Each structure stands twice: as C-alpha cells, then as structure tokens.
Structure 1
Amino acid sequence: MSSTKIKKGMDIYLRFLELIETIQDLPALDPLEQKIFDHIARTLRAEARVSVTDITSASTLGSSVTIHQRLKSLIAKGWIALGDTEDGRRKQVNLTKAAQSHLAKMSKCLMKAARSNDV
C-alpha cells in the first residue's frame, strides 16, 4: 500500500475519532461493557433476538457473573433494556432507542469523515 493511501486511511480514522468525541448522548462504557454491547449489537443485526443466556454463554466475554454485572450497568446507563419472552425464565436483550440513535450518529460521523477526505 502506498504511503499516500496509508496517510489517507489514517486521516479518515483520526477525523472519525474527532467527530465521535462530540457525541455525548449516553454515559461512556468501560472496555468490557463496550465489548458486550458490540456483541449484542452484532448478534441482533445477524439474528432477530438475543437473550441474557445467549450473552452469558459467550465465553469470550468473561464469566457469567461478570457479564451479569456489566449487563446491569448497561441497563443503568441506558444502552440496553430487557424484555420478556414466551418463556418467562428467559429475558430478551434489546438496544434502547437512545443506543440505536447513538449508533446512527456514529455511522454519520464515519461517513462524514470518509467524505471529508474525498476532496
């Protein structure tokens, strides 16, 4: 890859980081919360539903106790909400409207950062 393409890619990424710093609509996530949130968002994108059990069984995210603690934190911070399923023992995890709006804003920042380097 040429140094010009590398620089352009770095510029886009750094511009994106600058733009997303302006989004302050939800409380910040710690690295593990971010990893769990990303896992939830990716799973919901690929499938219609994700349950607490599905998340706690993902061994790459940590122990089930740690995951439960972080899920409670994500709920308290307004990133996710739990809903009932047909099986009352299982809880479905959903992104809140605020989290969906946050992701849309981040997407706009990424597109703006990429467009700003097209000139």
Structure 2
Amino acid sequence: MSINKISYLRFLNMLDALDRMNLGKKLDCTEESLLDKIILSYQAKESVLVGDLISLSALGSQATLHGRLKNLNAMGYIKMAANVDGRKKEVVPTKLALKRYEEISKCLEKAAKAS
C-alpha cells in the first residue's frame, strides 16, 4: 500500500475516534453534507438560507432535509436566524460546528505528518 493510502486510512481511524468521543453528537451522512455546505458558505462569507438547503434534492427530500436541519440545530451545530426578509431563515454554524472542523483539520494534519 502506498504512503498516501496509509495516511488516508490513518485519517479515517482518527475521525472514527473523534466520533466515538462525541457519542451523543454523531452525524449521519446527510447531516454531514448539510453541515459541510453551511461551513463552506460561512467561510466564503455567503449567507445560506433554509430554503437553499432543503432544495438540495441530491441529498434527499425536502422533508428529510428539513428534519436533518432540525437535528443539527438540536445538537447545537447550527442556529437559524431571521434574515433581512423576516420570512426567511439564515443558517449559521455555531462554535461547536467550527470546533468540529478544527478537530477534523487536526486529524488530517496528524495523519499527513505521520507518513
């Protein structure tokens, strides 16, 4: 096996350990995808609305995505704030979500350095 593959496997093991440390906050793949979109928008300083996220049909139905957004909110990863237009809700990551991505970045750096 090449060093790059071993680094990736090491990274996956670190992610698994990270998930086991946060037992009550394990995300399913749909929640992870939604949170990725929210974080990327946040980093790009773009606002993302609930309507934008529930229209991502590749991730699931509107009802499914709305439920996953509620889960992310309940777990403390996102908060929904009224937009300039009071009828729309903007989704923003919380400190907990930002910390999660910092931890994932640390895992990636450790896996790459260990090779």
Instruction: Return the TM-score normalized by structure 2.
Output: 0.86
Whole-Å separation in 2 of the counterparts to 1:63 and 1:12? 35
Calculate percent identity across the aligned residue pairs: 38
Q: Show the counterpart of 2:48.
A: 50
Whole-Å separation in 2 of the counterparts to 1:72 and 1:64? 12
**Tell me, which stretches of 5 or more residues in structure 1 are unaligned?**
1-5
Q: How does 1:39-78 map to 2 (within 5 A)?
A: 39-78=37-76
Q: Show the counterpart of 1:34.
A: 32
Does residue 12 in structure 1 map to residue 10 in structure 2?
Answer: no
Counterpart residue identity of residue 97, structure 1: K
Counterpart residue identity of residue 112, structure 1: K
SS in 1 for 2:85: coil
Counterpart residue identity of residue 13, structure 2: E
Counterpart residue identity of residue 39, structure 1: K
Whole-Å separation in 2 of the counterparts to 1:19 and 1:57? 32
Work out which of the residue numbers 86, 99, 103 in structure 2 matches 1:105: 103
Q: CA RMSD in A?
A: 1.7
Whole-Å separation in 1 of the counterparts to 2:13 and 2:48? 32
After superposition, the C-alpha distances for 1:57-96 in whole angstroms (9 at most, x for unaligned) are: 2221222111111100111111111112111111110111
After superposition, the C-alpha distances for 1:3-52 in whole angstroms (9 at most, x for unaligned) are: xxx51111101111222233234600112212222222233333421010
Q: How does 1:87-102 map to 2 (within 5 A)?
A: 87-102=85-100
SS in 1 for 2:107: helix
Larger radius of gyration: 1
Post-superposition, which runs of at least 4 consecutive aligned residues in structure 1 deviate over 4 A?
none
Shifted more, 12-21 versus 73-82: the winner is 12-21
